[in-house]
Amino acid sequence: MERETVLRAARETAVAAAYEAGRLARERFGTLDRYEEKDDHGDIVTEVDHLAEAIILQKIGRVFPDHRIRSEEFGENDRRSDWLWLVDPLDGTNNFAVGMPLFGISITLLHKQMPVMAVIYEPMTDRLYAAGADEGTTCNAKPVRMDRGQIKPLAKARVGWIQGHAVQNEPRAVTLRHYIDVNTKRMMRLWAPTLQWCMLARGDLDGIIVYNSEGEDLYSGLLIAKEAGAAVFDYEGHPFAGTSPQPYLIACHPLHKPYFMQMVQSGLGGLTDTNAGER
């Protein structure tokens, strides 16, 4: 199939899969009586993760049997392809497990390591976000832009913080987190990163700081925010594109880049390289 044909079919498939998986999650919400610990970092998995994942993988596999797929619980299939699907069937599992209605379904398609299509569905609010490279972002088929009103200089920002499971209380992460917390209007940690990216896309957050958080849910949010007008760059200010095994990133409106660069530099005591968390 030609690229345009693939992308059109991919979006239709991802939207249908996200709606069906989301309907399952919504119906099962509040009925969970047990879950499994996945690791020592507090990550968990539930039956709903597996059931939602099966729905999504089946739909993708039926339409694109030759594509690579990497999903949070299943892992990766054995295909070789320039096309790679990333699936997080229940982003925010910890929230779901304790009865907090903050979770979503995340599906991303990459072509030659570049995110080209993304869908995020919030079952409890029935909001479906979709984006394509150079095609903009929509929510329930209506265009979404983060600069809905006049963009003004920030005095204090509303900031989302996203860190990888393995980061935990790494000293430099704690230092940066604390600095952001006390120097902003609000620092938000939802434990459902995709929802924060959607908030940024629609202008309800001013920025997001990513501290070494690579995973199946990252690139859907990045694409949706970018296509809604966000600038995404590393801690040194270089524009970010593609993927990274250890992403240290900032996302915000382009006019607010100096504000967030200064925030991260001050929070890390002037150390701004992307290996800041490893030293």
Binding residues for Mg(2+): 72, 88, 90-91, 217
Amino acid at 102: L
Q: How far apart are CA 275 and CA 265, in angstroms?
A: 13
**Count of positions (residues) in the chain:** 279
How does DSSP classify residue 57? H
Question: Side-chain half-sphere of 20: how many Cα atoms within 13 Å?
Answer: 16
Question: Helix %, strand %, coil % for the chain, to 5?
Answer: 35, 25, 40
Q: How far apart are alpha carbons 225 and 166 in whole angstroms?
A: 25
Could you tell me the two tokens for 244?
């990274």
Task: Give the whole-angstrom CA distance, residue 194 versus residue 208.
Answer: 11
135, 239 Cβ separation under 8 angstroms = no
Q: Which residues contact 139 (CB under 8 A, 6 or more apart)?
A: 127, 128, 129, 198, 201, 202
Q: Coil, strand, or helix at residue 158?
A: strand
* Collapsed DSSP state (helix, strand, coil) of residue 86: strand
Helix (H) or strand (E) holding 181: helix 171-182
- Residues 178/209, Cβ–Cβ less than 8 Å: no
CA dist 165 → 47, 77, 192 (Å): 21, 23, 12
Annotated binding-site ranges: 72, 88, 90-91, 217
